[in-house]
Amino acid sequence: MNRVEFRKRIMAENDAAAADLQTRFEQSGTLVVDVVSSPGSGKTSLLEATARKLGGEQRLSVIVGDIATQLDAERLHAAGLQAHQIVTGGACHLDARMVTDALEAQPLLPAEILFLENVGNLVCPASYALGEDFKVVLLSVTEGDDKPFKYPAIFSRAAVTVITKIDLMPYVRFDLERATNQILSLNPDARIIATSTYTGEGLAEWCRFLMERRSAKVPVPA
């Protein structure tokens, strides 16, 4: 089996497992959000802030993918989310099998919203379906405004781009208009939300978006 055939087999197996997950999530009416970013963009901080705003009203769970440590899951559990850590041991992304195993290992469902905090990487997670309703990509102002064109796959596939750490804009070179234009040229339907977990700016809009998508999802009988 050559490399191309091997990759096709891996992707086919992942897509089959993702389809099973999607059916499971549809039957439970759970909104599933795959959260993708480079390391340090603020995925965990955004989910902590989301838990503070929505945790009293909604049942929130999260599956966290990291190459090592349980640190992010511990933070999110402390913030009030039901959290399960996947330590990939080197793998640069979550796959559908990992998500399936996590759901078997810990009772994260039922939940209104299940977040999949992917491994910090803008490349590999773009290609792997996890049964999610949509992908969210985070772009920190500290990373620069050229990231969308450098990593077009994830920015073209993500339904939402959350621009993070906007409280730092006075101190870094980041052109919000330039970044926005790049994102919309890759995905004209993308929703763009600028946020700061430090000041709270944009978090209400982010949570409203989640609740709109959650309200539109109706459980499908098995």
Query: In angstroms, rounded to a whole number, what is the distance separating the alpha carbons of residues 136 and 32?
Result: 11
pLDDT tens, residue order, the chain (222 aa): 577 676 788 899 999 999 999 999 999 999 999 999 999 999 999 999 999 999 888 999 999 999 999 999 999 999 999 999 999 998 999 999 999 999 999 999 999 999 999 999 999 999 999 999 999 999 999 999 999 999 999 999 999 999 999 999 999 999 999 999 999 999 999 999 999 999 999 999 999 999 999 999 877 776
**What is the distance between the alpha carbons of residues 193 and 208, in angstroms, rounded to a whole number?**
11
SS (H, E, C) 162-196: EEECHHHHHHCCCCHHHHHHHHHHHCCCCEEEECC
Sign of the CA dihedral with 179 first, then 139, 111, and 105 last = positive
Peptide bond into 110 cis (omega under 30): yes
**Entry pTM:** 0.95
- Does the domain at 3-215 match CATH 3.90.600.10? Answer given as no
Residues with Cβ within 8 Å of residue 104, at least 6 apart in sequence: none
Q: Measure Cα distances from 2 to 5, 7, 8, 130 in Å.
A: 5, 9, 10, 25
**Token pair recorded at residue 76:** 């999110």
CB atoms within 10 A of CB 50: 25
Report domain extents, the chain.
3-215
